[in-house]
């Protein structure tokens, strides 16, 4: 009888241990070093399911890597932007210590890929702070964006096209027949497009001025034509997916949620009409006359998005308030 009781209790203990192990909660930090800001999220994640149990901390730190790179004389991060970046990473490291984070994953995107000393600076960050910063290829950036969107939106993955326009680049991601991602990508992000208008179309110097406003009708036509020429290079699969009636075009990231969405009647959905109305209302006006603190990028952002929509026959974009850090938090490969 005693022996049976011991065996019974042992089974219960083993079952309890297995249940606890399978439901292990891990506190993770995800850091996405974008071209204009560094996004940080700290969350408790169920390891086995990848489910986010609780967001502990979420914020973004402004570090204008792309703007600094655009004005660089040798295509490198200068001392000033590196010092600002390092101070930000030290602050983030303090946050991970404060919240007792178990595992940290950090990725850097377009500006670090393009900077002559991007990899070198990422290594300095890892050495001085212990944050394992990794410069990722653009395709992986598109994968993170896709995973971030489907993590919070209850739509079949086969019916989704995820569109992310960052400070320095853009990605459109869809699932293909092999159940892997096809990513259409390019370098025409918000700042390169704005600077193209200033430098090429207006024959001014983006190192000296930060706004293309006021823009003329002719400026608009030339900017629209240039952006559409880039969008038309989209892969056949991307174009075919857009034409499918059930496909939901999802826009994620700060450009869509903070810059473009406020222009729409329904901030959850952006239409071509919304963007046309905003552009027509701001044409020929200075930043001061527009009265928008972000007018120096909002007008060119609207032109960029509308041009892509026209070229690819996109009628509306569903804006989701999520960030790339959500896609990182739930992906086990970033926390091995």
Higher pLDDT, 12 or 228: 228
Domain contains 18: no
Q: What is the pLDDT of residues 237-296, one digit of tens each?
A: 999 999 999 999 999 988 999 999 999 998 889 999 999 999 999 999 999 999 999 999
Task: Give the pLDDT score at 20.
Answer: 42
**Same-domain check for residues 315 and 189:** yes
**Same-domain check for residues 248 and 190:** yes
Task: Give the pLDDT score at 4.
Answer: 52
Q: What is the pLDDT of residues 198-223, one digit of tens each?
A: 999 999 999 899 999 999 999 999 99
**Same-domain check for residues 314 and 226:** yes
**Same-domain check for residues 168 and 300:** yes
Given a contact cutoff of 8 angstroms between Cβ atoms, the answer to whether 65 and 85 are in contact is yes
**Same-domain check for residues 131 and 164:** no
Task: Give the pLDDT score at 137.
Answer: 94
Q: Kindly report the CATH number assigned to the domain that includes residue 113.
A: 3.30.420.40
Domain contains 77: yes
Domain contains 212: yes
Domain contains 335: no
**Same-domain check for residues 236 and 264:** yes
* Average model confidence (pLDDT) across the chain: 91
If pLDDT is split at 50, 70 and 90, which confidence band does 95 have? very high
Domain contains 303: yes
Domain contains 325: no
**Same-domain check for residues 54 and 181:** no
Using a pLDDT cut of 70, give the percent of the chain over it.
Answer: 93
Q: In terms of Cα–Cα distance, which of 182, 166, 39, 48 is closest to 111?
A: 166
State pTM to two decimals: 0.83
Sign of CA dihedral 132, 28, 140, 138: negative
Domain contains 149: no
Using a pLDDT cut of 90, give the percent of the chain over it.
Answer: 78
* One-letter-per-residue 3-state SS of the chain: CHHHHHHHHHHHHHHHHHHHHHCCEEEEEEEEECCCEEEEEEEEEECCCCEEEEEEEEEEEECCHHHHHHCCCCCCCCHHHHHHHHHHHHHHHHHHHHCCCCEEEEEECHHHHHCCCHHHHHHHHHHHHCCCEEECCHHHHHHHHHHHHHHHCCCCHHHEEEEEECCCCEEEEEECCCCCEEEEEECCCHHHHHHHHHHHHCCCCCCCCCCCCCCCHHHHHHHHHHHHHHHCCCCHHHHHHHHCCCCEEEEECHHHHHHHHHHCCECCEEEHHHHHHHHHHHCCCCHHHHCCCCHHHHHHHHHHHHHHHHHHCCCEEEECCCCHHHHHHCCHHHHC
Q: What is the pLDDT of residues 32-89, one digit of tens each?
A: 999 889 999 999 999 998 889 999 999 999 999 998 998 899 999 999 999 999 999 9
Domain contains 281: yes
Paired with 183 in beta bridges are: 173
Task: Give the pLDDT score at 35.
Answer: 87
**Same-domain check for residues 159 and 306:** yes
Q: Kindly report the CATH number assigned to the domain that includes residue 286.
A: 3.30.420.150
Which has the minimum average pLDDT: 91-100, 116-125, 152-161?
A: 152-161
The yes-or-no verdict on residue 13 having pLDDT over 50 is: no
Task: Give the pLDDT score at 326.
Answer: 87
Domain residues for 35?
Answer: 24-136
Strand 170-175 vs strand 160-165: parallel, antiparallel, or unpaired? antiparallel
**Same-domain check for residues 101 and 180:** no
**Same-domain check for residues 202 and 236:** yes
Task: Give the pLDDT score at 14.
Answer: 43
What is the tally of structural domains in the chain?
A: 2
- Average pLDDT for 105-109: 96
**Same-domain check for residues 132 and 158:** no
If pLDDT is split at 50, 70 and 90, which confidence band does 16 have? very low
**Same-domain check for residues 160 and 301:** yes
């Amino acid at each position: 009888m005693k022996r049976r009781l011991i065996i019974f209790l042992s089974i219960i203990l083993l079952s309890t241990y297995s249940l606890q192990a399978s439901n292990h909660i891990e506190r993770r930090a995800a850091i996405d070093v974008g071209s204009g800001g560094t996004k940080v999220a700290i969350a408790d994640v169920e390891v086995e399911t990848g489910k986010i149990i609780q967001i502990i901390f979420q914020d973004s730190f402004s570090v204008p890597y792309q703007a600094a790179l655009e004005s660089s004389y040798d295509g490198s991060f200068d001392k000033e932007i590196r010092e600002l970046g390092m101070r930000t990473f030290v602050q983030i490291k303090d946050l991970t210590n404060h919240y007792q984070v178990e595992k940290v994953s950090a990725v850097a995107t377009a500006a670090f890929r393009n900077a002559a000393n991007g990899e070198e600076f990422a290594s300095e960050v890892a050495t001085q702070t212990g944050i394992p910063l990794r410069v990722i290829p653009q395709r992986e950036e598109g994968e993170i964006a896709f995973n971030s969107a489907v993590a919070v939106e209850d739509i079949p993955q086969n019916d989704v096209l995820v569109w992310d326009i960052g400070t320095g680049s853009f990605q459109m991601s869809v699932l293909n027949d092999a159940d892997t991602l096809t990513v259409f990508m390019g370098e025409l992000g918000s700042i390169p497009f704005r600077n193209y208008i200033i430098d090429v179309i207006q024959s001014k110097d983006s190192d000296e001025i930060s706004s293309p406003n006021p823009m003329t009708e002719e400026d608009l036509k030339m900017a629209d034509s240039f952006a559409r020429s880039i969008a038309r290079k989209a892969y056949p699969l991307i174009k075919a997916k857009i034409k499918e009636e059930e496909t939901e075009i999802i826009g994620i990231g700060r450009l869509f949620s903070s810059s473009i969405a406020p222009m729409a009647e329904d901030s959850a959905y952006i239409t071509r009409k919304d963007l046309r109305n905003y552009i027509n209302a701001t044409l020929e006006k200075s930043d001061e006359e527009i009265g928008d603190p972000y007018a120096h990028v909002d007008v060119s952002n609207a032109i960029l998005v509308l041009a892509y929509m026209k070229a690819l026959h996109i009628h509306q974009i569903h804006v989701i308030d999520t960030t790339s850090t959500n896609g990182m938090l739930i992906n086990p490969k970033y926390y091995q």
